[in-house]
Structure 1
Amino acid sequence: MMESWILMILVIVSGVQSGDWGVTFENQCALKGASVVIKCSYSYPFAHIVTSVSWGRILYVSGQRKLFLLSSLSSPQNHYKYVGNYYGNCDLQINNVQNNDEGEYYFRFVTTFNKWTSKTFVHLSVKELTAVVEPSTVTEGNYVNLTCLSACPTPTTIVWFRDGQLVQKPVFQAMREDAGRYYCAVPGQQTVRSAPVALNVLYAPKKVTLSVNQSGGVVRGSSVTFTCSSEANPPVRQSGYSLYKDGQFISSGQRHIISDIQSSHSGQYHCQAWNSISWRDVHLINSTEIHLDVWYPPMDISVSVDPAQVAEGSSVNLTCSSVANPAADSYTWYKRTTGSPSSSSLLQVGTGQVLSLSSVEASHAGLYLCRARNRLGEDNSTEVPLTIEGKGDGRHTLPVLAGVGVVLFVTLITALLLFWRKQRILREKKQQQQQTEFDSRFSGRGSSASANQVQLDPLYANIHTSQSSSPLDIAPQSQRNWQNEHDVNMASTSFEDEVTYSVVTIKPRNHTLPHHINNSKAPRDSWSRAGESDSSVIYATVASSSKQLP
């Protein structure tokens, strides 16, 4: 009861102070999303008591201005809130101001005796914070400035956000991670924010990767697709990708297909990306390398024998080698049981890459082959013969004996040639010596030989027989001397190759002959000339050449 009287007294006092009807406004500028209080005061005559207050808006309907109480308009709860009183303060608070809140407002109140509507209107301007990012497109490494603008008085404190994350500084050196949408806001009123502005950061390719459509080993003959990808701004074009194998260029483009993969395609692959943006002066960015492993069954299988010559009772190793990926994990040895391939069969004789025979026998001889296998397949080697040499059969000495025989033969031929050449030289020298003696003795006989002098030394002369000659006739001594000299001259000039030597022995009259003469053999053909004064006999042995002389 007491409180009611106090309120009535205050109303009367305020009314007494105002003394007249009136409403005073102050135009407002509000940021979108903020809460704003429209300042308002009113007055009324003495003895009036305010019973109700209300705010309204002026809206245009069909081009005409009409008044609408705020209570009649559709709005969010607590969007409009009266924060004044009933004795002079008529402030209005609008929460979460939006662009459609902009316009003209009025105030009206009712007293116990009358009612009043403001003759003027208050204008509410709704503005937004404007984020400015300079430059909006920047190359990585360059600086960026953030500025927040507003048509209303700008708050003293502004904060910045990038995709909802607080930005520490409005000026920074842009990195590729700084790309995003930026907006500014009033601290404590995150709903009061600017429209977001995008920052575009250009950067060279990063996270360049090369992938293969098959994982693990690639089976020979299958198809393989290489795909290169990256993160870049601007994105890498097709021509900006390159594929390399072991450092050698293969092709350009984001994809590369090998339809029939072979073992030669195994190696280290990487791709390269380029988009005209450099990072620390590097334009071309490489991916990490990947190893392409091509799998294939065993191939090029061969067998080696160590030692190559095997004697009976010794040991021998047969080694199987193959090219395979993955490596051959199984080796099996076979021996052909018969010599005829059409009717022969294979007998398994061992396993493992090396077949060891510690004490070979004659039965071990034959054709051997090995079969290599891995998870992809198997294949056989060609057949290799194993020959066993028997004990003491001398086979191992045949090469040595053959070598010795060749050496002896060459030595014998060389000795015969040397002997023949030496004999020829001696014979030529002897012929020259005998010829000289012959010439000197014949010339000496004609001048100083006496009838009683005995000539015991043989004389040699060159005698040529004509093809048409009759039995040889002996001329007188002088004629013989001339004939002999003539024959010697002719033989030395024209018929040196057809020389026949004759032994002429002159016997004395005395029949008492030296012992060596009596014991000499008589010539097959002999003759004597009885008419000579010295009654000496000349014996001659004539041998005719088998070759017919001219």
Structure 2
Amino acid sequence: MPLIILLLLPGVLSNQWRVSYVSLSPVCAARGSNVFINCRYEYPDGQQVQQVRWCLVSSNNVFCADKPYVYDSESNNNQKNFQYIGDKTSNCSLLISNIDQTHSGEYKFRFITDRDEWAGDPGVKILVDDLRVSMSRSRENGSTIVGDSLILTCTLSCSGNLADVQWFKNRDLIRHSEPVLTFSRVTAEDSGNYSCSLRNFKTTVSEEITIYIEDVTGSPTVLIIVLFLVSLVFITAAVILMRRREAKMKVKQVEEREEAKDSLYSTVQPQTTDNKNLPGAEDVQQEDEVQYSSVTIKPKELLQVSANTEQEDDSTIYSAVMNG
């Protein structure tokens, strides 16, 4: 019967090496908060841990085998935001303080013993985002007026409901710890700038959202002013229309007068043809004189007619002398 020898090499079997990340992955963190990664690790008996490391995984450092490290027990230049609160026996927990968007990514722990080394894979993914205040109201369009309902919610885009928050109105703390702030019936006093943050972490405060509650019933002066302005517009328009009509009537009257004047002037204008020597010329002249005497004319026209009459008389006298 052949002899079978099973050789067990300490540190080679993976069931003796382990890194356990207790924190759920991925972790959603608010900018400015602290993130605690609870971590435990195991290795074969008889070995001693000499070095521990934490790294932010990149494409060139998948297993945290090379630099850069966010924490290295053998380095004196570790980043201030990263604090190793574990040990070199079994606790590998890491605290990230005042976290921001540059800290987003996957974190892995690696430890080195006097015989071998091991990295926990997969690591812990952390997403960092700003807190935001979203608003929902009973009136979808238009402004919010007294008596409407209003709901403010403190949220993170990478997470669902937050556990414990604090609210601020005009940067003053409000005694409310729920992520949802509800107004069943708003009043004018509820107007202001609202923001939220994680409890005891004011560095995580969100941008402010401005709420203005319009008090329609308590502002009759505004309604009076609006009505006055509307009435003023109508009155001004009516006056302009009346003045335009009057101006048109005056222009029309002037045109009618000018037309009557031109017609009258053409009626009294004498004939320019010299017909004194024609038969019946004297009768025509007498008829013209009768027409002139029967027409009522203005002084300026009277002088013109008199001058024409004198000229015709002189012509008549001259003709009589020549015939004689």
The answer to which structure, 1 or 2, has the higher relative contact order (CA under 8 A, 6+ apart) is: 2
TM-score by length of 2: 0.50
Q: Could you say which structure has the higher helix fraction?
A: 2
The alignment's TM-score, normalised by the length of structure 1, stands at 0.31
Q: Which has the higher strand share?
A: 1
